[in-house]
Amino acid sequence: MIRSVLALAALLLVPMAHAQAPVEPFKEGTNYFRIDEPVRPRDPKKIEVVEVFWYGCPHCFRFDPMVKAWQKKLPADVDFYRLPVIWNSVTELHARAFYTAQALGKLDQLHDPLFAALNEQGNPLNSQERVAQLFANYGVTAEQFDKAFNSFGVTSQVNQAKARTLSYRIEGTPELIVAGKFRVNGKALSSPNGTEQASHEKMLQAADFLIQQERKAQQNPVKK
């Protein structure tokens, strides 16, 4: 009788132990992808997270408020920044607008209006003149705009954004790049019956997961 009870208890413990085994919530090659040739972070001492976006992308427009809320909760060892994608002349113009606003110290004021112009107001921002007019609405003179827009510093940042777009192998926006090693996009995290918001939430969850993985890797480096 005692043997039968012990045997039954052992059988019951097996599925319980299996259920408690750690399960990776996100899988490489399915939910996120490894970049073939890792890109060196701008600050190697921190865990870099880059949001690759385009002002004309409606998905990026809807993702942006979620990213802002998520960014505020990031720990001190995470270096987050935005990278405007550059695929063609239009995206390059909008990337130059981003870096011009940054150079003028006006990015906080102009980031949302740049999104709104393209996604809500029907303004294509398809010329330097149209971009300059938007900046003028926020106190930037034509002289200030032209000087920053055509500056060496802004041109250098645009060229770096081009290079990173290629190195990250960006196919769509928005995407998150973690530690220069992993690429996360909403398409890989979407489900047939899921919403865009749900896939965006999963993108941020996947980024959190990869940040944790990278933190562990940094704390316990592999000995060669």
Q: Rounded to 10 degrees, what is the CA torsion of 108, 154, 117, 194?
A: -80
CB atoms within 10 A of CB 5: 9
Please tell me the predicted confidence (pLDDT) of residue 223.
61
Please tell me the predicted confidence (pLDDT) of residue 191.
82
Closest CA to 26 of 146, 156, 194, 201: 201
Please tell me the predicted confidence (pLDDT) of residue 20.
42
Please tell me the predicted confidence (pLDDT) of residue 180.
97
Record the tokens describing residue 220, joined without a space: 């316990």
Q: What is the layout of strands, in order, in the sheet containing 33-34?
A: 33-34, 182-185, 175-178, 47-53, 78-84
CA angle 178, 66, 43 (to 5 degrees): 30
Please tell me the predicted confidence (pLDDT) of residue 1.
52
**Contacts of range 39-43, beta carbons closer than 8 Å, 24 or more positions apart:** 39/164, 39/167, 39/168, 39/177, 39/180, 40/180, 41/79, 41/179, 41/180, 42/79, 42/81, 43/79
Please tell me the predicted confidence (pLDDT) of residue 9.
46
pTM for this predicted structure: 0.87
- State the CATH class of domain 26-214: alpha beta
Please tell me the predicted confidence (pLDDT) of residue 209.
98
Q: Please say whether the beta carbons of 168 and 177 come within 8 A.
A: yes
Residue 98 CA to residue 79 CA, distance in Å, equals: 19
pLDDT per residue as tens, the chain (224 positions): 545 544 444 444 444 333 344 456 899 999 999 999 999 999 999 999 999 999 999 999 999 999 999 999 999 999 999 999 999 999 999 999 999 999 999 999 999 999 999 999 999 999 999 999 999 999 999 999 999 999 999 999 999 999 999 999 998 999 999 999 999 999 889 888 889 999 999 999 999 999 999 999 988 876 65
CB atoms within 10 A of CB 202: 21
Hey, where are the domains in the chain? 26-214
